[in-house]
Amino acid sequence: MRTELYPTITPTHSGHLKLDDLHSLYWEESGNPEGIPVIFIHGGPGAGASESSRRFFDPSFYRIILYDQRGSGRSLPLGETRNNTTPHLIQDLETLRDYLQVDKWLLFGGSWGSTLSIAYAEHHPARCLGLVLRGLFLCRPSEIDWFLYGMKTIFPEAWQEFSGYIPASERSDLLKAYHGRLLDPNPAIHMPAALAWSKYEGACSSLMPNEDTLNSFLDPVVALGLARMEAHYFSNNIFLPDNFLLENLYRIQQLPIIMVQGRYDIACPIVTADEVAKHLPEAEYNIIPDAGHSAFDPSLCRELVKACEKMKTLIP
């Protein structure tokens, strides 16, 4: 079974889909136009998709769909928090699916992408062929608190820089302090805050130091979308009732699901994947012993490609 990324490919179609009077969503397609549709649901929220996101999938078998969520990447306007909630993002997937004339699709999502994949699948299980999930994250208060404060137990120097950006008098509530700065319309205020937030996340995302990964988090478009959207969603409990995602996993038990979790994922610790696995006993749950959070940690990357290959045999 193939384990390495597929070669670089270019989109065959792309465009912007108008969602409302404010938001326009970037989408693209590559691979086999007659193939099994698979949609890459990026992380963050706010990180956007990248060219390398296409490479997990066999382009001769899959119709590969990438898009950037509201406020992220190439969607417009970048960093816009108005009309931007999880219910909006779920509906956006339905709008895109209808626009592309897709009946059902395979969902591939990591980190926040796993959150949104689960949320969408719970609302629209009949539109899902299956799910490949990585670095599982339910965005609960305990997980948000870990991101803001707990990761310092493993990455104290990165956390000291992250927290040190905020004056000492405001450090008891880092989310509130960052949120206020990130929503400030003045780039001289929101961009340094965005870069500090994004640098912290990037520094904690790989098992081994990875300069390419860290540099990707320092791209201004990535940093602004990521930091602003994360602070926005984290401050609003992702706009869903408490524990909604875990309590509704029964809605997707019948779907083929493969979960791939790095043992040493610090950004999204394995305890969440373990909890989800207990609620989805029929799902395949693969713990990768030498991987962190990043989908491009070598062993995690290999397992994600393998999962997409295995899905060829599991999709009904």
Task: Give the residue numbers annotated as catalytic, written as ranges.
Answer: 111, 265, 293
Alpha-carbon gap, residue 130 to 125, rounded angstroms: 9
DSSP for 3-20, please give it.
-SPPPP---SEEEEEE-S
Q: At what angle do helices 187-203 and 220-235 cross, to 10 degrees?
A: 90
Do residues 26 and 74 lie in contact, with contact meaning Cβ atoms separated by under 8 Å? yes
Q: How far apart are CA 227 and CA 269, in angstroms?
A: 20
Per-residue exposure over 38-72, b if at least 16 CB sit within 10 Å of its own CB, e if not: bbbbbbbbbbbbbeebbbbbbbebbbbbbbbbbbb
**Angular region, 145: left φ>0, alpha ψ -120 to 50, beta rest:** alpha
Residues pairing with 36 in the sheet? 62
Contacts of 157 (CB under 8 A, 6+ apart): none
Residue type, 315: I
- What residue type is assigned to position 121 of the chain? A
Q: Which of 23, 76, 29 is nearest to 48 (CA)?
A: 76
- With contact defined as beta carbons under 8 Å apart, do 251 and 122 qualify? yes
CA atoms of 152 and 145, how far apart (whole Å)? 11
Name the one residue in this structure whose structure tokens are 């030498």. 290
